[in-house]
Structure 1
Amino acid sequence: MSPFSTTDVHGSHTPSARPRVDDRGILALGTLALALVAVFGQLDAVAKKYAGFLPLSPFELLLALLVGLSALLIALPAGRRPAMIDPLGGKLIALLICWIGVSFVFAEHHDLAFAYAIRAVAVMLLPFLIGMFLRDPTQLQPVLWGIMGAGIVTALIIIYETKTGARLFSTSAAAVEADFEGKIRSAGGSDLNPTSVAQMLMVAVLLAAGLLASGYKRFRLPMIALILLGTAAIVMTSARSAVIGLGIGGIIILFRFYRSRWFPLILLGGIALAATSLLFLPATTLARFQAVANFAEDRSLYRRITYLRIGWDLLQQSPIWGVGPGNFPSHYVEAEYRFLPGRTLNPRELHNTYLDAAVEYGLVGFALFMSVLGTAFFAAARAARRAVDPLLARMAHAIMAALVALYAASFFMPHKDFRYLWLMIGLAMACGAMQRFEARCAGEGP
């Protein structure tokens, strides 16, 4: 019998025990809600256009639903399968949430800190909620399908908007004001900035590539379409970090075949494909990469260096508990930094997730944040290497590749509260918990 069977994990039912409740309906509803979280994470502007009349955003409504269903699962005597919550990862996230509270107390601007902390803690619940509802590998699939399905829609919107110059759904300043050399940078169906959208699309493309490379047999044609359309759309956004992350994730996927006698040929083929694709890069994308060596062409590079200088200065001023969640932008516009090159008069976030965590949460918070990220990576890597269930191994490898790419891309963006980061952390930790449960069941078997 599979370790992920729906039978009682204790194997028997005693007369004195409370009657068990069939929890399959609750788990199915929670799985659907998580899949929709993955969809609306990329297509929030689409959701806003058609559901903007609601008092809360679809993400907030889904999160409230998931929390309520989790409370129901805990209260009812279901007990069919244990929650797949990584014990170490769960403790680290809980400690990080508590430390954010400490940083909040010492923040200078408590109103900003409170608003940011609420948003950050909300997305940090995702790993717990994923562990509550995704109890076996088959339940992981709808969430991955949600990410990849939304990726196809995002890619199509980006390609259309880039070619026509029109805006279909995006309305926020972050989404519509981004351009380069007079050409728009599409944010797809999102109100986030184009770079963040490109990174979410990068995750979707790498999940599809990782699953195909591992022999996953379902939805092959849509996944191939996603890889082709998604890669083209990422390039059209001129998002350098997403292109870099895509390359790193692709290398991880290629090295899945390192034991094959065909690996040298596969590696050379990958290098040749990457080199050939350079010939078809749009001029704006090439210009964005060339601008790295020429600050006169891309003055945002001055601003990025200024972020780092201000961040380092603030970290030295408050190394233990930081300046407080969400407080960097208010310090960024202070008069003492007014002469730094590239600084704007508008509050800006520190565009480096790791330094941002250190500056706003302090070194203790940074250590906890990095421990969470490391735990998630090793959980997915362990599951990809050790899982007996081939479906779990395949999905864990794809999730690991996408997660590492997102970690790399986060060097260039403020992603401490990024929904897709915590969604991928939750999926990675769930894979690790499932592999441990699988091993434990095998050890307890006859």
Structure 2
Amino acid sequence: MAARATRPIAGRGGLNAVIKLLLLAAGMGGIFLLVGALVVPEAGTLTFLWVLYMNVVAIASQVYHIPAWVGGGVIVLIAIPFGVYVFLRGHRLILDSPFAWMLAFLAASLLSTTIARDRGVAFQWLFTYVSEGLLLYLLVINTIRVLPVLRRALWVLISAGSVLACLSLFQGVTGSGSQFGGLAQRNIEGYPASGQLASGQGARVPVRLGNRAAGPIGDPNRYAQILIVLLPMALLRMRAEQRRALKLLAGLAALLILGGIALTYSRGALLALGFLALAMAALRYIRWRDLLLAPVVAIAFAVIAGPRLLQRIDTASAVPDLLQNGGSDPSEADGAIRGRLTEMLAAFAVYRDYPIIGVGPGQFAPIYSVEYMDDRDIAFRALDRTRRAHNLYLELAAETGTLGIVAFLVIVGVVCHRLWRARRFWLRTHPPSADLATSFLLCLMAYLTTALFLHLSYQRYYWLLLALAGAAVHILRPPTEQPATSGRLLPRRERQRAAQAW
């Protein structure tokens, strides 16, 4: 089912008025933040990360109709620190190989645009990538230059995820209908696709779905995705922090985030959790025998989320039979699963027909999806509306071809390879640094696992995660491998304080 939130996001009138006053106060405080960013650049960077992860700009635009250009001004919070470091303090501009590959991905996307049927959609996609991908990566790696700032950035993201998860848990426990100004939306109603309409029915009537937590984004699966990438950060902060209070806070944050994930009922997130557990066991953060506690964790999830979660997990059991022989009765399989398989196979068919440069950015859903999903050989479910591929890799391959998907994978591959090298270097001499590198590896693994079932929308979250990982690569690079491109990162006194940060 194609889901949509129908309960009013703003909540009750009194709460709405309070939120508006808070937004007004935030606007007035923005002036002080800009001044503060000049004096203390770190404050501007951390504030920007908080606002971005809480999706405040999108909520302000969609719910409170604040002009988009006002929300776009939030980028100034991190642009000012960038200018302070590069132009006022004379630190050299950091340009690394992942950024070069991001430019290569842009070039491949531009090449694909030449054959796009809808150039307007293609250029809109390119603008989003440049602003939420290229620019964001460049600003982050040039403003987070030392270990203390990186640690605080991690805590900012962990605290943001904890607040969002806490709001969702409050809704689940109390049954509250408040959506806290859009920070805790719910996914309640949706429309059946044509393949599920009874004979003789012409109109699509909204039906009640499971009451799934959708966070500040309004989509349960996306919400689960931005929560699960924070889980390794919280767990390894609990391991690396020296102060007991911070260890307890990290552990509490991990529990809250797990609870928030459970309330999304996201099957892809649960699969990613399983992979995370196996990876942490392979890296010896979890003992293999401790994995026997998995049933206990599953029971805890069921208690938090209720029987609806178990029902959604059970529907996935039909996938092997569905893939092997179409299923003895495909109509018995979960409609969403059959729809996802149809969308993915359609995207693969588009890639097969346009293997080199694809069909153009943003073109699969509006131009090609209906035509290819109508193919009886791949249609597990009758779909007569445009649909995204619900698979990052297949959709990018269909839209940007082999050139684009290879460049995209090389970007994250280079970052992961360098994180792994940093982990190996610091593992014996300084385990906390190794843990930091490992946390980003696990975060990227979690995102890429959920991307098997989600396309690249809200891509700012992905590029932010990759940018923080890129900053970690530069900060954790062994002293003998410091490249000339990184230049003089900080004055000697600040470098000495950074060396003592742990």
Query: Fold match, TM over 0.5?
Result: yes
Which residue does 1:201 correspond to in 2? 227
Alignment counterpart, residue 418 of structure 1, candidates 456, 459, 464 = 459
TM-superposed deviation, 1:343: 4.6
1:371-416 CA-to-partner distances (Å, cap 9, x unmatched) read 0111121122222222466554332221211111111111110026
Correspondence for 1:18: none
Mapped contact 1:89–1:372 kept (Cα < 8 A): yes
Displacement of 1:73 in angstroms is 4.3
Moved more, 295-304 or 139-148: 295-304
Per-residue deviation, residues 332-378 of structure 1 (Å, max 9, x unmatched): 45446446343544432111111111111110001000101111211
Deviation string 1:169-197 (CA, Å, 9 cap, x unpaired) is 44999955469974211112x13411011
Provide the rounded CA distance (Å) in 2 between the counterparts of 1:425 and 1:99: 20
Q: Is the 8 A contact 1:351 1:413 kept in 2?
A: yes
Contact 1:137 1:392 in 2 (8 A): no
Partner of 1:275: 295
1:28 alignment partner, one of 36, 42, 46: 42
Q: How many angstroms apart in 2 are the aligned matches of 1:399 and 1:156? A: 24
Q: Secondary structure at the match of 1:187?
A: strand
| In structure 2, distance between residues paired with 1:326 and 1:49 | 22
Aligned residue runs from structure 1 range 118-133, under 5 A: 118-125=127-134, 126-133=136-143
- What is residue 410 of structure 2 aligned with on the other side? 371
Structure 1 residues 173 and 106: alpha-carbon distance in aligned structure 2, compared to 1, 3 A threshold: farther
The Cα of 1:230 is off from its aligned counterpart by: 1.5
The alignment-based identity, stated in percent, is 22
Q: Please state if 1:55 is matched with 2:68.
A: yes
1:40 aligned to which of 54, 60, 63: 54
Q: How far is 1:46 from its partner?
A: 5.5
Q: Match of 1:61, as an amino acid?
A: G
Matches within 5 A, 1:43-442: 47=60, 52-56=65-69, 58=71, 60-67=72-79, 69-70=81-82, 73-76=85-88, 78-80=89-91, 82-83=92-93, 85=95, 87-125=96-134, 126-163=136-173, 164=175, 166=177, 168=179, 169-170=181-182, 177=189, 182-188=209-215, 190-215=216-241, 217=243, 219-257=246-284, 266-269=287-290, 271-280=291-300, 281=302, 282-294=306-318, 296=332, 298-335=334-371, 337-338=373-374, 340-387=379-426, 391-415=432-456, 418-436=459-477, 438-440=479-481
Q: Distance in 2 between matches of 1:323 and 1:174?
A: 35
State the secondary structure of the residue aligned to 1:405: helix
Inter-partner Cα distance in structure 2 for 1:133 and 1:30: 10
Report if aligned partners of 2:370, 2:387 keep a CA contact under 8 Å in 1: no
Structure 2 Cα separation of the partners of residues 174 and 120 of structure 1? 28
Change (3 A) 1:331 1:278: same
Shift of 1:33: 4.2
Q: Provide, for residues 70-98 of structure 1, a one-character-per-residue CA deviation record: whole Å limited to 9, x for no partner.
A: 3564444x234x4555x221111111112
| Conserved? CA contact 1:178–1:184, under 8 Å | no
Tell me, in whole angstroms, the C-alpha distance in 2 between the residues paired with 1:174 and 1:110.
Answer: 34
1:333/1:248 CA distance change after superposition, 3 Å: closer
Displacement after TM superposition at 1:132 (Å): 0.6
**What is the CA distance between 1:310 and its match in structure 2?**
1.2
Looking at structure 2, the residues matched to 107 and 170 of structure 1 have their Cα atoms a distance apart, in angstroms, of: 35
Task: State the 1:149 CA deviation.
Answer: 0.8
Q: 1:38 to 1:244 in 2, by over 3 A?
A: farther
> What 5-or-longer segments of structure 2 have no aligned partner?
1-36, 192-206, 319-329, 485-502
Shift in Å, 1:306: 1.0
Structure 1 counterpart of 2:220, which letter? P
In the alignment, what sits opposite 1:10?
none
Aligned-partner residue type, residue 150 of structure 1 = A
Report the Cα distance in structure 2 between the residues aligned to 1:47 and 1:381, rounded to whole angstroms: 39
Q: 1:397 to 1:430 in 2, by over 3 A?
A: same
SS of 1:79's partner is coil
In 2: Cα distance, 1:174 partner to 1:416 partner: 19
**Are the aligned partners of 2:347 and 2:369 in contact in 1 as well (CA < 8 Å)?**
no
Aligned twin of 1:11 = none
Aligned partner of residue 413 in structure 2, secondary structure: helix
Task: Tell me, in whole angstroms, the C-alpha distance in 1 between the residues paired with 2:237 and 2:274.
Answer: 16
Find the counterpart in structure 2 of residue 9 from structure 1.
Answer: none
Structure 1 residues 397-406 or 383-392, which shifts more?
Answer: 383-392
Task: State how far apart, in whole Å, the 1-side matches of 2:349 and 2:46 are.
Answer: 45
Moved more, 309-318 or 215-224: 215-224
Shift of residue 134 of structure 1? 0.7
Output one character per residue of 1:139-194: Cα deviation in whole Å (capped at 9) or x when no partner: 11222112111111111222233342735044999955469974211112x13411
Cα distance between partner residues in 2 of 1:321 and 1:303: 26
Q: Does the CA contact (< 8 Å) of 1:38 and 1:147 recur in 2? A: no
Distance 1:129 1:243 in 2: 33
Taking structure 1 as reference, are residues 438 and 49 closer, same or farther at Cα in structure 2, changes over 3 Å only? Answer: farther
Alignment correspondent of 2:500: none
Instruction: Indicate how the Cα distance of structure 1 residues 433 and 399 shifts in structure 2: closer, same or farther if over 3 A, else same.
Output: same
What is the TM-score normalised by the length of structure 2? 0.73
Aligned-pair CA distance for 1:322: 0.8
Q: Which residue of 2 aligns with 1:4?
A: none
